[in-house]
Amino acid sequence: MTLDDWRAREAAHQERADEFTAGWRSRRATGEQHPVDDFLFTYYPYKPSLLRRWHPGAGVVLDGVQEFERATWRWYAPEGGGVVVDATAFLEAKPSLIGFVERILSQTAARPAQFACFGLHEWAMVYKVAEGEVRHESIPLRLSAAATDEVVESNRIACSHFDAFRFFTPDALSTNHLSPTREHQEQFEQPGCLHAGMDVYKWAIKLGPLVSGELLLDCFELARDIRQLDMQASPYDVSQFGLEAVQIETREGKAVYAARQKVFAARSNVLRARVLDAIAQARAVQPDNASGLAD
């Protein structure tokens, strides 16, 4: 890729990343908090600077890099008059990570999507909770505590994502029809799950330079959009953030939630395929004598 071409792509990427992180960076300066949007920077502990760092992906030689800081970046190697992502070094250094990401993305995408959870995981996180112990204490509940508990008790809960299930209150654990565990995460996750969709961003950013900047930001954008629905369907009153509640305690609200969930499932599977393609491209550019990279 010529200097002018990759610098233009880098600049466009940085502008888009800055738009995504502007609110977070502004709030960090003032101490303000936004329980909806800040989730992507607190639950996923990756700095905005990582989102802003553009990579071309494996196998692309960037010409004319010598005068730029990129020439000294980790996971890059000189190639002719430029640099290229050192896919060999990355794959050799992180075989377990690469293998896990491949398995969880491919297995999740291959399963039938489930659209009957209705975001009840957030309700189970406040079920019979004591006053002062609600996770997002700064946001009031939409319903009374008793009415919120009734939603949990009158609906079937089937949360398949361990990182959501682990935040259920002790009284809510037995209400879940599934028992996801960290050890069996690959066997439980399915594309209809909102948290599994958000996690595509996590897996993409863990792959560092193997994933192009454009793909990384597409994953982040999906996570941002999913997070909004996650909180709209929650028991919290998010109207102060300009978000309208999706009242999943009603038949109409369930229909709205499931319809949006189906769109996210399709988007997340497209991105899973793109991330898997990025890994495949990294493997494809390895020298013939590379060994052990598929372990």
Tell me if 57 sits within 8 A of 210, measured CB to CB.
yes
- DSSP states of 61-108: -EES-TTSGGGG-TTEEEETTEEEE-HHHHHHH-HHHHHHHHHHHHHH
Q: Give the residue-averaged pLDDT of 260-265.
A: 98
* Domain assignment of residue 289, yes or no: no
Q: Return the residue matching tokens 């939409």.
A: 142
* Domain assignment of residue 291, yes or no: no
Question: Closest by alpha carbon to 2, among 61, 55, 52, 53?
Answer: 61
Total residue count of the chain as it appears in this document: 295
d(CA 57, CA 29): 33
Q: Give the residue-averaged pLDDT of 20-40.
A: 91
Q: Helix crossing, 194-206 with 213-232: angle to 10°?
A: 150
Report the chain's mean pLDDT, rounded to a whole number: 92
Look up residue 172 and give its two tokens.
């809510």
Tell me if 38 sits within 8 A of 24, measured CB to CB.
yes
Percent above pLDDT 70 for the chain: 95
* Domain assignment of residue 162, yes or no: yes
Q: Over the stretch 181-235, which tens digit does the pLDDT of each residue have? A: 999 999 999 999 999 999 999 999 999 999 999 999 999 999 999 999 999 999 9
Q: Over the stretch 103-151, which tens digit does the pLDDT of each residue have? A: 999 999 999 999 999 999 999 999 998 765 555 567 899 999 999 999 9
Q: Return the residue matching tokens 């940085």.
A: 14
* Res 68: pLDDT: 79
Domains identified in the chain, total number: 1
Q: Over the stretch 266-280, which tens digit does the pLDDT of each residue have? A: 999 999 999 999 999
Give the three-class secondary structure for 176.
Answer: strand
* Domain assignment of residue 295, yes or no: no
* Domain assignment of residue 20, yes or no: yes
**Residue-number span of the structural domain to which 66 is assigned:** 3-284
* Domain assignment of residue 293, yes or no: no
* Domain assignment of residue 127, yes or no: yes
* Domain assignment of residue 294, yes or no: no
d(CA 279, CA 104): 13
d(CA 236, CA 66): 52
